[in-house]
C-alpha cells in the first residue's frame, strides 16, 4: 500500500470509529505517528534480542496501536509475531517479518529506514 492510502485509511477510521473531525485528526496525527514510530523501534530492538517474551510484548503493543489506527492488515502481521512468540515458535523468521512491517510503517510515519 502507498503512504497516501495508509493515511486515507487512518483518517477514515478515526472519523468513523472515534467520530473525530478532520481538524481534530490533523491535531492528533503527529502524536499518533510519533508513538507508532516508537513502538516500531522497540519491536526492531526486540527482534534483534532474540528474546521471544520481549518480542511478543512488543508485537502485542504495536498490534494495538495499529488496530487503533484502523490498519487491520498490519495488525494481523503484528499478531503473527505476538502469537508465534507466545507459542515459543523459534522457526518463524521474526527479523524478516519485523523488517517487512517496518517498511510499511515507515511509509506512514515518513521516518527513514
CATH code, 34: 1.20.120
Closest by CA position to 10, among listed 52, 59, 70: 70
pLDDT exceeds 80 at position 113? no
Structural domain that includes position 37: 3-108
Domain-located, residue 113: no
In a domain, 89, yes or no: yes
Using DSSP, state whether 91 is helix, strand or coil.
coil
Give how many domains the chain has, as a whole number.
1
Residue 111: its pLDDT value, please? Answer: 83
Q: Using 50, 70 and 90 to split pLDDT, how confident is the model at 19?
A: very high
Q: How far apart are CA 81 and CA 23, in angstroms?
A: 35
> Does the pLDDT at position 11 exceed 90?
yes
**pTM exceeds 0.75, yes or no:** yes
In sequence order, which residues have a C-beta less than 8 Å from that of residue 21 and are 6 or more positions away?
Answer: 15
Residue 86: partners with Cβ closer than 8 Å, 6 or more residues away: 56
Which residues touch 11 (CB under 8 Å, ≥6 apart)? 22, 25
Amino acid at each position: 500500500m502507498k503512504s497516501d492510502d495508509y493515511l486515507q485509511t487512518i483518517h477514515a477510521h478515526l472519523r468513523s470509529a472515534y467520530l473525530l473531525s478532520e481538524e481534530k485528526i490533523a491535531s492528533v496525527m503527529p502524536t499518533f505517528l510519533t508513538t507508532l514510530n516508537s513502538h516500531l523501534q522497540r519491536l526492531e530492538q526486540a527482534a534483534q534480542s532474540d528474546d521471544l517474551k520481549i518480542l511478543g510484548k512488543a508485537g502485542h503493543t504495536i498490534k494495538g496501536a495499529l488496530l487503533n489506527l484502523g490498519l487491520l492488515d498490519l495488525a494481523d502481521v503484528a499478531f503473527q509475531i505476538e502469537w508465534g512468540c507466545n507459542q515459543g515458535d523459534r522457526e518463524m523468521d521474526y527479523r524478516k517479518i519485523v523488517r517487512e512491517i517496518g517498511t510499511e510503517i515507515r511509509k506512514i510515519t515518513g521516518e527513514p529506514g
